[in-house]
């Protein structure tokens, strides 16, 4: 074409390539990419058998067309299985392709680099030579271009961090992205508006459903529920156990449960013992732990020494011998990695199987001396805290110096705070008492002693009995006669509450012998007064009064005012049985005055309750009602549900005897609710009384 020459260009029909040129010299070679998009289909198959994940499936279904979701949870909890089940179910919604990559953030080798993952994605999308794009930024940009406008799904499995996946995110119109990680990846939530979903261990009923799906009718065995609980809701653990049972039809479920119940063997049981490392609970846990920074790794290991499943940051600070701030920081870091649970209110938890793994790792890595020192620090934290709150709950009880040292203790403002702490920590305190280590024997009986007032107040008799039996064994092993005598006295008290009178007397009499050998007048008087309670129940009233008067004389002489009041209350019960109502009233009123003067609300509640029963038995119903109302008031003030229930039960009986059945029903219903809340069996009597009431018209 010559310059200036008028020309008209036109093209009609179909053409793949059109070239306009003024002059062409030499050969012409034209290449082109195919006009159709490559549609990758990379999703692995659905493994099947998903159960208990309906809520999470609904959340995934609700994702927008270009949504980003981070699905996180502990190792073995079934994150990948959940995503693949969902993705295969809705695959038709992603007609432009499904991309999947295992980033190996947790595993035996190095994590897959983002640039290598991008290269694989680019090839899957039809870009033949991604290595020509030298930098990760170039590959990421080209990936976003190829994904633009696609109705596609991208699954990024086993991501180590937010930085690990950022280059792999398509643009704003690049489809749905699901990131799977053992870490929370909060950076994606904050900077990319990702939806965060947490996969928790299965509830027990869902675990049973999974077990039935795997082993069929054998899951009907009565012990199957125990098997599920020992696997602690971890689908990987349940599948491993199920595979073992299915592979060997002669496998005895009782034997499997016995193996799992042994914490030293449980992780060995939860291993398929084949070449697939992903089929061993211990191995998949190790992949989470090996990448931890040193402070977090030490914290995780030492958490294995804590005997409870839930703990405060303060307790962990003692365990680590560090500050509350440092402990909280480390715990939150572990929580982001799903190695501990952040329960809120400065409390954290550890999955049962992770606790076993942490203890195993601690035994391998930390020296015996370091482990022992950590346990002692933890015990001292609980011991000194229990003593501190005990002094608030029962301020006039005999106290003595404690073993160990008190680290930074929580600020407990009042009685309600003290009881709240005891309620929260009861299981941990009992677990500490159960640590059978001679190194801790002195601390174990001291902790049981500190807990006795809480048990007496709440009537938590099982915990009282167990901790004091353990404490007694510790005292005997430590050859500490004073500790043994004190523990036997308190053990006898719970046995009386449980109506085990013969054993109670054995402990009281042995305690009396020890106190007399030691020349301990206060302890001797306690043993005498305590045995009197058994003598009264047996109808040996004269012997009971003799013991009580001996104890009372010593208490008055030594200025043990609270013990004076307690003994007067007990004497009044015996005098009531003998029909000596005037003496009983005189003694119980003095006991109430002492309790009020000392500010002992529980003693006042018990005193008014006994005064009410004496008045009722003497036929003075009006004064009895006044006393019972006072008893309920003081019981409520000190937080004793049991004493308040007793007072309401008596008020109901008074109302029933007066013919006011509606009032009786109201009082008894309130009493029954309190008995049940305190775990007391005395509510059965109230329930029977309610059943006998005629139905309201």
| DSSP assignment string, 620-677 | -HHHHHHHHHHHHHHHHHHT-HHHHHHHHHHHHHHHHHTT-HHHHHHHHHHHHHHHHH
pLDDT at 17 over 50: no
- Nearest CA to 440 out of 464, 405, 404, 481 is that of 404
418: closest CA among 444, 473, 457? 457
Is residue 522 within 8 A of residue 558, CB to CB? The reply is yes
Q: Domain 560-629 belongs to what architecture?
A: Alpha Horseshoe (1.25)
696: confidence class by pLDDT, cuts 50, 70, 90:
low
More confident residue, 546 or 24: 546
Residue 590: is its pLDDT beyond 70? yes
Tell whether the model's pLDDT for residue 420 goes beyond 90: yes
Percent of the chain with pLDDT over 70: 93
**Tens digits of per-residue pLDDT, 37-64?**
789 999 998 877 788 999 999 999 998 8
* pLDDT for 9: 52
Check residue 24 and give its pLDDT: 52
Q: What's the topology of domain 54-198? A: Rossmann fold (3.40.50)
Q: What is the pLDDT of residues 109-138, one digit of tens each?
A: 789 999 999 999 999 999 888 888 889 999
For the beta carbon of residue 70, count every other beta carbon within 10 angstroms: 26
For the ranges 284-288, 308-312, 445-449, 519-523, the lowest mean pLDDT is seen at 284-288
What is the predicted pLDDT for the residue at 680? 78
Q: Is the pLDDT of residue 461 over 50?
A: yes
pLDDT surpasses 90 at 484? yes
pTM of the model: 0.78
59 or 682, which is more confident: 59
> What is the mean pLDDT of the segment spanning 631-647?
93
Average pLDDT of span 384-412: 89
- DSSP states of 26-66 as a string? S--------SSPP--B-PPPP-----S-HHHHHHHHT--TT
Q: How far apart are CA 281 and CA 239, in angstroms?
A: 11
Backbone φ, ψ for residue 72 (5° rounding): -125, 160
Cβ atoms < 10 Å from Cβ of 408:
11
Tell me the CA end-to-end span of the chain in Å, nearest whole number.
113
pLDDT bin (cut points 50, 70, 90) of residue 410 is: confident
| pLDDT value at 33 more than 50 | no
How far is residue 247 from each of residues 215, 240, 242, 251, 595, measured CA to CA in Å? 10, 11, 8, 9, 68
* Mean pLDDT value of segment 321-332: 96
Under 8 Å between Cβ of 608 and 592: yes
Alpha helices in 366-460 (DSSP H): 368-393, 415-433, 441-458
CA distance 111 to 243: 29
Residue 14, burial from CB neighbour count under 10 angstroms (0-12, 13-18, 19+)? exposed
């Amino acid at each position: 074409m010559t310059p200036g020459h008028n020309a008209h260009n036109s093209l009609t029909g179909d053409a793949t390539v059109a070239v306009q040129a003024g002059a062409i010299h030499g050969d012409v070679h034209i290449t082109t990419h195919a006009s159709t998009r490559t549609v990758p289909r990379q999703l692995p198959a659905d493994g099947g058998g998903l159960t208990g994940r309906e809520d999470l499936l609904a959340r995934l279904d609700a994702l927008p067309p270009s949504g980003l979701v981070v699905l996180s949870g502990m190792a073995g909890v079934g994150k990948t299985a959940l995503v693949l089940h969902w993705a295969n179910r809705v695959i038709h919604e992603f007609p432009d392709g499904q991309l999947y990559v295992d980033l190996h953030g947790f595993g035996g080798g190095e994590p897959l680099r983002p640039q290598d993952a991008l290269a694989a994605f680019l090839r899957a999308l039809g870009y033949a030579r991604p290595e020509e794009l030298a930098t990760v930024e170039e590959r990421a940009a080209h990936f976003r271009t190829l994904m633009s406008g696609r109705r596609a799904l991208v699954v990024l499995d086993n991501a180590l961090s937010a930085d690990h996946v950022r280059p792999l995110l398509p643009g704003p119109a690049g489809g749905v992205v699901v990131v799977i990680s053992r870490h929370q990846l909060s950076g994606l939530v904050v900077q990319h508006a990702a939806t965060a979903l947490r996969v928790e261990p299965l509830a027990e009923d869902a675990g049973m459903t999974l077990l039935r799906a795997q082993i069929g009718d054998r899951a009907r065995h009565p012990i199957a529920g125990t098997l599920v609980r020992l696997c602690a809701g971890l689908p990987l653990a349940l599948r491993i156990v199920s595979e073992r049972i299915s592979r060997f039809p002669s496998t005895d479920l009782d034997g499997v449960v016995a193996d799992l119940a042994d914490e030293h063997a449980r992780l060995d049981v939860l291993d398929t013992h084949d070449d697939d490392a992903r089929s061993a609970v211990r191995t998949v846990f190790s992949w989470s732990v090996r990448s931890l920074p040193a402070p977090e790794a030490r914290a995780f290991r030492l958490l294995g020494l804590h005997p409870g499943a839930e703990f405060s940051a303060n307790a962990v600070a003692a365990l680590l011998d560090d500050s509350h701030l440092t402990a909280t920081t480390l715990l939150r870091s572990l929580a982001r990695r799903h190695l501990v649970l952040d329960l809120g209110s400065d409390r954290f938890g550890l999955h049962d199987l992770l606790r076993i793994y942490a203890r195993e790792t601690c035994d391998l890595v930390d020296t015996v001396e370091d482990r022992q020192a950590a346990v002692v620090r933890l015990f001292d934290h609980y011991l000194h805290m229990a003593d501190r709150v005990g002094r608030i709950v029962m301020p006039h009880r005999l106290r003595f110096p404690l073993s160990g040292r008190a680290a930074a203790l929580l600020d407990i403002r009042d009685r309600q705070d003290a009881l709240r702490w005891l309620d929260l920590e009861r299981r941990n305190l009992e677990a500490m008492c159960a640590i059978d280590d001679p190194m801790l024997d002195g601390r174990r009986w001291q902790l049981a002693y500190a807990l006795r007032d809480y048990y007496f107040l709440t009537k938590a008799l099982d915990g009282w009995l167990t901790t004091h039996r353990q404490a007694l064994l510790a005292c005997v092993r430590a050859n500490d006669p004073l500790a043994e005598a004190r523990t036997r006295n308190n053990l006898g008290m719970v046995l009386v509450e449980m109506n085990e009178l013969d054993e109670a007397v054995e402990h009281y009499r042995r305690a009396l012998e020890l106190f007399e050998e030691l020349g301990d007048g206060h302890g001797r008087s306690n043993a005498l007064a305590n045995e009197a309670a058994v003598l009264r129940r047996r109808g040996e009233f004269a012997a009971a009064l003799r013991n009580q008067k001996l104890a009372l004389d010593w208490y008055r002489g030594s200025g043990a005012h609270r013990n004076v009041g307690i003994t007067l209350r007990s004497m009044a019960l015996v005098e009531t049985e003998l029909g000596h109502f005037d003496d009983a009233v005189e003694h119980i009123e003095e006991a109430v005055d002492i309790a009020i003067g000392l500010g002992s609300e529980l003693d006042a509640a018990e005193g008014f309750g006994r005064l009410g029963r004496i008045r009722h038995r003497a036929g003075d119903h009006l004064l009895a009602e006044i006393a019972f109302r006072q008893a309920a008031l003081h019981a409520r003030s000190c937080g004793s549900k049991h004493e308040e229930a007793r007072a309401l039960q008596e008020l109901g009986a008074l109302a029933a005897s007066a013919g006011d059945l509606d009032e009786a029903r109201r009082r008894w219903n309130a009493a029954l609710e309190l008995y049940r809340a305190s775990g007391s069996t005395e509510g059965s009597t109230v329930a029977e009384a309610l059943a006998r009431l005629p139905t309201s018209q």
